[in-house]
Amino acid sequence: MAPPTPSSHRPRKKRKVAISPGSNNNLILDLGEGKQSPAFPLVSFLWAARAGVSQWLILPLVLMAVGLFRWAVSLWGYSGFQVPPMHGDFEAQRHWMEITTHLPLAKWYIYDLQYWGLDYPPLTAYHSWLLGKIGSTFDPTWFALDASRGFEDPHLKVYMRATVVVSEYFVFIPAVVNFLRRYTRMQGVHAWSASIALVAVLLQPANILIDHGHFQYNTVMLGLVVASLDAILAGRMLWACIFFVGALGFKQMALYYAPVMFAYLLGVCTFPRINIPRLVSIALITLATFALLLAPLMVGASNLEARKAFASSPVPPLLQALPIQMDKNSVTYGLLFQLMQIIHRVFPFARGLFEDKVANAWCAVHTFYKLTRFEATLLQRASLGATLASIIVPCAIIFRHPRASLLLPALSAVSWGFFLFSFQVHEKSVLLPLLPMTLLLAGNGGLSKETRAWVGWANMLGSWTMYPLLKRDELRVPYIVMTLLWAYVLGLPPTSFETYRSRPSPEDSSTHFEPSTLTTLLHFGFYLAMIAWHIVEAFVAPPPGKPDLWVVLNALIGAGGFGIAYLWCTWKLYTQCRQISRQATEEESQKKKQ
């Protein structure tokens, strides 16, 4: 693409904020003699847009381009393809469409739990129902009850892949576009930088590989979280609650973000002065949204047939633990049964501390010091304690300084804390801390070398820890292509070392936007380790007796890196908070002088 000829283009009106494109972000390198060049390839691709091309043109083009990459990844394998008898996540999602379209609501959470019983919250169930209904109009055999288990038709694959893309384009993409627009305006970032950040966020390799490769609907949950953040920026706290409850109701994993949202909303009601009506309305709207979310399932559980179905299935442990005795034929019993069953299914406390090899603290400790010697309850308590310890600082900061601009680093820090120390973590959960961290690219100085280096590094590391999973799904080629593409467009190793090279810049403020020597060494160490690991994994067989050695090594390196990412996010939160409060006091003192 090329810029317009200067004569043919005249901006319609002057912008309110007089900032040159690329200010604060070092997007344009000055080569001297009036020559300019883009700082990294993504800037180059949007080079022509810097002269203020309409968003009505840029946005559709960007969305089409990133959509093409998503669809191309989806041509590859998915989780559980041709792996009977249980298959994988693709089959789980298909199976939920099958049971929700064919069974009454009362049976959704109790039907044949051994074969991919529904264990996601209600919004996922409704989503599956809708997709199952639409899919059945194309071909009812895709979702025939029981008969369709393990069905693997190419047309079914196309349909399922299309549902992921459509869900993403209905939820995640509008949320991210709106959020970035508001966030960049708030941070005083030029629209051109915002477009660049948008492309970077939408090309996040981990999201694309898991949702469109492995097969899941994470972007719906993430999109609802981003919509909630957007509502906060817009000052619509109640909408923020509704969207966030929606995210929780779609995937319980959104709980990683819950402490920050809670602390923020509580902080907003407490500082600068206590605002009781606001607190009450937030509490009420949250409860009402939860009630609305559960309402269809509750109505479905209130009839006689539902109670018959409940009578023939095992009583959920939570209900057994209740101290009261109830008549098994009463409506209340049916409702309680349904509620307890959903909670029991959604939060599987009976499972172990961690699953498979995941790059968090427990798995890392376990490698050297077997944790199985301890009782499960002790481990659960230890996990709870460690998680709380890791999130207490960011939560306290966001509670005391409930500023919208601090939300992103706080969310990243807290979700890194959860990922590292909490219970039952999947390798895919790394998407949660990566999202707010990647959104930092849109902030003030977000595309500067320093932030870009850290965010890019965390994304590379996150995708890398998922490699063993992606390898099982035959997604090696998309993994290589998407991660290298991300590194290339953002000018990161292994494709370019430009980010870590310091250059004399015309903008004198840029010095502290460059990565320090320590950062450079740290990142290079990790990049080297990742490359070396890939080489070893590909060409050297693990020693006999330790078949999982390479996977364990991957998890160990990953856990170390994520720990550093946690510290960086917390540090970022702390420094930004300091900066904001310093600015605030300066402004106040100036006012006093006047």
Q: Which is nearer to another protein, 8 or 590 (CB)?
A: 8
Among 24, 25, 27, 47, binds another protein (CB under 8 A): 47
Among 32, 154, 543, 544, binds another protein (CB under 8 A): 154
Residue 38 touches another protein, criterion: CB under 8 A: yes
Q: Which is nearer to another protein, 157 or 307 (CB)?
A: 157
| Distances from the Cα of 427 to the Cα of 79, 242, 419, 548, angstroms | 14, 28, 9, 16
Among 15, 19, 20, 57, binds another protein (CB under 8 A): 57
Residue 488 touches another protein, criterion: CB under 8 A: yes
Q: Which is nearer to another protein, 283 or 477 (CB)?
A: 477
Cβ 436 vs Cβ 408: under 8 Å: yes
Residue 456 touches another protein, criterion: CB under 8 A: no
Going by the DSSP 8-state scheme, the letter that residue 325 receives in this structure is -
Alpha-carbon dihedral angle through residues 476, 479, 485, 486, given to the nearest 10 degrees: -160
Cβ 553 vs Cβ 542: under 8 Å: no
Residue 19 touches another protein, criterion: CB under 8 A: no
Among 83, 365, 378, 477, binds another protein (CB under 8 A): 477
Rounded Cα distance between 295 and 311, Å, is 21
Give the pair of three-digit tokens for residue 30.
Answer: 């000055």
Residues contacting 40, CB < 8 A, separation 6+:
452, 489, 490, 491, 496, 498, 499
116: left (phi over 0), alpha (psi -120 to 50) or beta: left
Among 19, 75, 365, 528, binds another protein (CB under 8 A): 75
Residue 72 touches another protein, criterion: CB under 8 A: yes
Q: Which is nearer to another protein, 40 or 126 (CB)?
A: 40
Residue 524 touches another protein, criterion: CB under 8 A: no
**Residue among 449, 518, 442, 559 at smallest CA distance from 196:** 442
Residue 484 touches another protein, criterion: CB under 8 A: yes
Q: Which amino acid is at 204?
A: Q
Rounded Cα distance between 165 and 169, Å, is 6
Write down the least CB distance from residue 273 to another protein, Å.
52
Among 69, 120, 215, 464, binds another protein (CB under 8 A): 69
Distance in angstroms between the alpha carbons of the first and the last residue of the chain: 51
Among 443, 478, 491, 558, binds another protein (CB under 8 A): 478
| 3-state SS record for 558-580 | HHHHHHHHHHHHHHHHHHHHHHH
Please choose, out of 28-36, 92-100, 297-305, 361-369, the segment that lies near another protein by the rule CB under 8 A: 28-36
Rounded Cα distance between 457 and 463, Å, is 10
Write down the least CB distance from residue 161 to another protein, Å.
8
Residue 41 touches another protein, criterion: CB under 8 A: yes
Cβ 442 vs Cβ 201: under 8 Å: yes
Peptide bond between residue 494 and the one before it cis (omega within 30 degrees of 0): yes
Rounded Cα distance between 356 and 378, Å, is 20
Q: Which is nearer to another protein, 4 or 352 (CB)?
A: 4
Please choose, out of 261-269, 307-315, 326-334, 482-490, the segment that lies near another protein by the rule CB under 8 A: 482-490
Q: Which is nearer to another protein, 199 or 466 (CB)?
A: 199
**Residue among 405, 533, 416 at smallest CA distance from 468:** 533
Give the pair of three-digit tokens for residue 458.
Answer: 């965390």
Q: Which is nearer to another protein, 495 or 520 (CB)?
A: 495
Rounded Cα distance between 370 and 362, Å, is 10
Please choose, out of 53-61, 184-192, 460-468, 507-515, the segment that lies near another protein by the rule CB under 8 A: 53-61
Residue 481 touches another protein, criterion: CB under 8 A: yes
Residue 485 touches another protein, criterion: CB under 8 A: yes
Q: Which is nearer to another protein, 488 or 574 (CB)?
A: 488
Q: Which is nearer to another protein, 193 or 429 (CB)?
A: 193
Q: Which amino acid is at 198?
A: L
Residue 37 touches another protein, criterion: CB under 8 A: yes
Going by the DSSP 8-state scheme, the letter that residue 282 receives in this structure is H
What residues line the site for another protein (CB under 8 A)? 1-5, 8-9, 34-38, 41, 44-45, 47-48, 57, 60-61, 64-65, 67-69, 71-73, 75-76, 154-155, 157-158, 161-162, 477-478, 481-482, 484-485, 488-489
